Amino acid sequence: MQTVLFHSTVFGPIHSRRLGVSLGINLMPDDGKICSFDCVYCEAGYDSQGQGTAGVSTKEEVKQLLEHKLRTMKSADEHLDVITFSGNGEPTLHPQFREIVHDVLHLRNKYFPEVKVTVLSNSSMLGKSTVVDALKDVDLNILKLDSAIPSTFRLINQPVNESYQPEGVVDRMKQFEGKLIIQTMMLRGDHDGQHFDNTTDEEVDALIAAYKEVNPQEVMIYSIDRPTPEKNIEKITKEELEKIGKRISDAGIKVQVNA
Ligand code: SF4
């Protein structure tokens, strides 16, 4: 069974297709996964692997581990582009998310003031004011929207709480008044006998309408790059991704294509 990728709270730096040299912060357990979604393509595996036994790191632990790493990197004159919240699940679920973001911004200012602080979030916690406040303070607020059609969204992202309403995500994204980047994984495949495909004309039109409503700084579209828990997923080709990117940019939206 595919399991979690990250075995520490501070990991890397790694080279990210989209962000450059990235030092990661995993606020979820080092030996399990906690997420409000259970995406068919999640590189950390399915939620059914369990939450592990290590628990989540405290605010103090994150601060101490990050300060140690940044100090070491600074002394070695290492290059860094971004500090990125991602990892074994959804970072905004951490109960001290806002306080941790503020500690990270403080440490960034102290050691690498030119580096951007980034959060990769699945957008599921945008109903919580402390999460929204924290996301307003980071440099790159990157929020997931894989489909604007509810049935496709449910097939691809599989929200854990069945009462979760993806239909409201576009409205909740508007709270940022354009200070956000929307990321969309493009894919097609089958899961539990059901077919999903967010690359059809209908899907791309619905996404473009949603992007226009939210008016983000940029949209990032990308394709799978690592093994996925659902094996029946087709990787979208560079050519097809570029075609979809052109449709988005022709609609007046800045787009980054990561094949
Ligand atoms: S939202 Fe992210 S961490 Fe959660 S299941 Fe989806 S890809 Fe994995």
Q: Convert the pLDDT of each residue in 112-125 to its tens digit.
A: 999 999 999 999 99
* Within a domain: 1: no
Q: Is residue 190 scored above 80 in pLDDT?
A: yes
Closest ligand 1 atom to 87 CA: 3
Kind of pairing, strands 194-197 and 187-191? Answer: antiparallel
Q: Is residue 251 scored above 80 in pLDDT?
A: yes
* Within a domain: 172: yes
Q: Cα 25–57–108 angle (5° rounding)?
A: 40
Both tokens assigned to 202? 């209908």
* Within a domain: 4: no
Residue from 241, 231, 232, 161 nearest 195 by CA = 232
199 in helix, strand or coil? coil
Kind of pairing, strands 20-26 and 10-16? Answer: antiparallel
The amino acid occupying position 106 is H
Q: State the pTM of this model.
A: 0.96
**Helices 238-250 & 201-214, crossing angle to 10 degrees?**
50
* Within a domain: 3: no
Show the ligand 1 pocket: residues with CB < 6 angstroms. 35, 37-39, 42, 44, 89-90, 122
To test the pocket of ligand 1, the residue of 6, 28, 39, 220 to mutate (highest count of ligand atoms within 8 Å of its CB) is 39
* Within a domain: 2: no
Measuring from atom 7 of ligand 1, which residue has the nearest CA? 42
Distance 88 CA to ligand 1 centre (A): 8
Measuring from atom 6 of ligand 1, which residue has the nearest CA? 39
1: confidence class by pLDDT, cuts 50, 70, 90: confident
Domain interval for residue 143: 10-258
CATH code of residue 191: 3.20.20.70
Distance 123 CA to ligand 1 centre (A): 10
* Within a domain: 135: yes
Distance 155 CA to ligand 1 centre (A): 13
CA gap 181, 194 in Å, rounded:
30
The structural domain count of the chain equals 1
* Within a domain: 5: no
* Within a domain: 156: yes
pLDDT tens per residue, range 42-94: 999 999 999 999 999 999 999 999 999 999 999 999 999 999 999 999 999 99
Distance 21 CA to ligand 1 centre (A): 21
